[in-house]
Amino acid sequence: MLTSLSIHQFALVDHMELEFDQGMTVITGETGAGKSILLGALGLTLGQRVEAGCVRSGADKADIAASFEANDAARQWLSNHDMPEDNDIILRRVISAEGRSRGYVNGRPVSAADLRDIAAHLIGVHSQHAHQRLLEKDAPRKIIDAYAGLSLKASKVSNHWHTWKKAKQRFATLSESSAEIIAQRQLLDYQVSELRALAFQENELEELEAEHKRLANAENTLLSGQSALLACTGGEQDESAAGELLYHALQQLEHIDDQDPLLLETKEMLSQAQIQLSEAASSLQRYLDRVDMNPHRLQQVESRLSDLYSMARKHHIRPDALYGHWQTQEAALAELNLSDHDLEALAEEIEQLQVTFMKGAEALSAQRQKAAKTLDAAIESHFESLALGKAKFFTRMQHLPANEANAHGIDHITFEVQTNPGMPSGPLAKVASGGELSRISLALQVVTAATTHTPCLIFDEVDVGIGGGTAERVGRLMRNLGESAQIMCVTHQPQVAAQAHNHYQVSKVSGDTATHTRIRRLEGTQRPEELARMLGGVEITEQTLVHAKEMLKLATAER
């Protein structure tokens, strides 16, 4: 559940620290007092989009943090994202005055998408506009799947459908016998024949270029190498060679009778140099012995390179990409040249994929039908308390043939309602009035909320358009939900507010230079005074206050 909310420099809030309890909590206040600010701040910690100008005027950033008691699903999310498990989960959002934002989970940076992901395990928000989403084409299917916990099975069916569809598209492409496909096959066949005739190896170009470089430079290599060798070893009576000079230097140093360390070190270095020079000369000689002066081979290499370069230019690619291009063209030609046997195998695969999809879709459909009956009865059970009389709610499921199936299965699902006995039922959008649709949506939200595993539920003015006894019954419904989950309700209805276990009031305080929004928990006489304000408006009479106290007394007695 939501245990605390900390808001700093957000909209009209300077600093606010709130703590929340289990049960049903209502938030009330005059229009414009800032109830939307409170939910807006909470929404940001849940990963909602940052609106321009949300940082308090004059501040450089807003900082909002919401603390929740962890549940199993949230702990699993932490584990999956390599975060340490904890009994408390803190969702935090920092927004700069320029509109940039940073999200955190237990102090670790995360994206807004991550905040939304983990928040789905901790809290659910039902708004006053939910009845509008109820009219969306795919809403009934989503509601049924969520209500019955079928989302994972529906996802598997969707994967089967996409695999089946992809195979059918591939079969259609490969079976195409248009002039364009034939021309493409002929062109590929010609190009691949040329490449095959060239018969080159994967690393041949690199090896040929290296060999060509050696052969082309062989003469210069021999001349330079022999010159270097002569400088090292010299010829007969050549006292200017490096070896003779080193030998002469060592002979001269031997005539010096001194054991000075510097002199000894010099002799050692010259001796080593003499050895190194001798080894270098031997290595150079072996290298020169391997240098090949082969004009005929050079001509062969140049001819082969010319063929490779010419083919690369013809195909408009780099020479070093020629081998990979050949393999790609081979694969493309093989794809176009699939035999009838291959097409038959693909057709059999498609048939099996269809069987797999239909089997999963039919099982999913059966579970949806079962869940729909339960959902219809549960929704209707609240109609009387919501002043919907003898209205009936129906989930209509039409099975689609295989050729009309889609990624969601074989069901076309719609919600219908019969508002009066003897009258035909029809789609919600055509039969229900705006007020009736709002109350049906509320019943649906109450039912789905009762089956959710989300420990905290927020109802944002879902009771708009109702009043009197209906509002009181709505309050009782929410209070009953509060026995098994934390319920937070923003309301303008005193009949709803009277049913709450906890009551917060939002108000706006205007000074000479600034305006602030504040929220306080109501205790003792503060609760009937707030209910009286909601009942009577600006001026609170003694009679209105008595009425408010009576509402609280009755609500307390019913608990």
The DSSP result for 154-216, as a single string, is: HHHHHHHHHHHHHHHHHHHHHH---HHHHHHHHHHHHHHHHHHHH---TTHHHHHHHHHHHHH
Indicate the angle between helix axes 204-216 and 218-233, nearest 10 degrees: 60
- Count of CA atoms in the C-beta half-sphere (13 A) of 399: 10
Residues 382, 446: contact at Cβ < 8 Å?
yes
Rounded distance between C-alpha atoms, residue 84 and residue 69, angstroms: 15
Rounded distance between C-alpha atoms, residue 202 and residue 207, angstroms: 10
Is 246 within a domain?
yes
Tokens of 394: 């129906």
Q: What is the DSSP code (8-state) at residue 51?
A: P
| Closest to 327 in 3D by CA, of 342, 313, 317 | 317
Rounded distance between C-alpha atoms, residue 340 and residue 175, angstroms: 9
Tokens of 546: 């008595």
Rounded distance between C-alpha atoms, residue 399 and residue 396, angstroms: 10
pLDDT score at 375 = 93
Tokens of 183: 């021309």
Per-residue pLDDT of the chain (559 residues; tens, 9 = 90+): 899 999 999 988 888 899 999 999 999 888 766 677 888 889 899 998 888 788 888 889 999 999 999 888 888 899 889 888 888 899 999 999 888 999 999 999 999 999 999 998 888 777 655 556 667 788 899 889 988 989 889 999 999 999 999 999 888 877 765 557 778 888 888 999 998 998 888 888 898 888 778 777 776 777 787 778 778 887 655 666 787 888 888 888 888 877 888 888 888 898 898 889 888 888 888 877 777 777 777 788 888 888 889 999 999 999 889 999 999 998 888 877 765 567 788 889 999 999 999 999 999 999 999 999 999 999 998 888 777 878 899 999 999 988 899 999 999 999 998 888 878 888 887 877 766 777 787 788 778 776 666 788 888 777 666 777 878 888 888 888 888 788 888 888 898 899 999 999 988 887 767 778 888 899 988 999 999 988 876 677 888 888 988 888 887 776 5
Torsion sign over Cα 195, 198, 202, 203: negative
Query: How many domains, in total, are found in the chain?
Result: 1
Is 441 within a domain?
no
Quickly tell me which residue has 């909310």 as its tokens. Answer: 5
Is 197 within a domain?
yes
Is 266 within a domain?
yes
Q: What is the DSSP code (8-state) at residue 84?
A: -
Cα torsion at 46, 52, 54, 57 (round to 10°)?
A: 160
Q: What is the DSSP code (8-state) at residue 74?
A: H
pLDDT score at 382 = 85
Residues 126, 133: contact at Cβ < 8 Å?
no
Is 217 within a domain?
yes
**Residue 106, by phi and psi: left (phi above 0), alpha (psi -120 to 50) or beta?**
left
pLDDT score at 215 = 78
Residue 297, domain extent: 185-336
Give φ, ψ of 510 to 5 degrees.
-110, 125
pLDDT score at 112 = 92
Residues 202, 322: contact at Cβ < 8 Å?
no
Give φ, ψ of 92 to 5 degrees.
-135, 145
Consecutive H or E run containing 81: none
Give the burial string for 243-262 (b: 16+ CB within 10 Å, else e): beebeeeeeeeeeeeeeeee
- Coil, strand or helix at 99: coil
Residues contacting residue 511 through CB under 8 Å, at least 6 positions apart: none
Rounded distance between C-alpha atoms, residue 439 and residue 445, angstroms: 10
Rounded distance between C-alpha atoms, residue 411 and residue 154, angstroms: 11
Per the document, the length of the chain is 559
Is 446 within a domain?
no
pLDDT score at 4 = 93
Tokens of 143: 């509601």
Direct distance between the N- and C-terminal alpha carbons of the chain, in angstroms, rounded to an integer: 22
Residue 239: exposed, middle, or buried by beta-carbon count in 10 A (0-12, 13-18, 19+)?
exposed
* Cα 368 to Cα 200, 303, 355, 382, distances in angstroms: 61, 73, 20, 21
Is 243 within a domain?
yes
Is 536 within a domain?
no
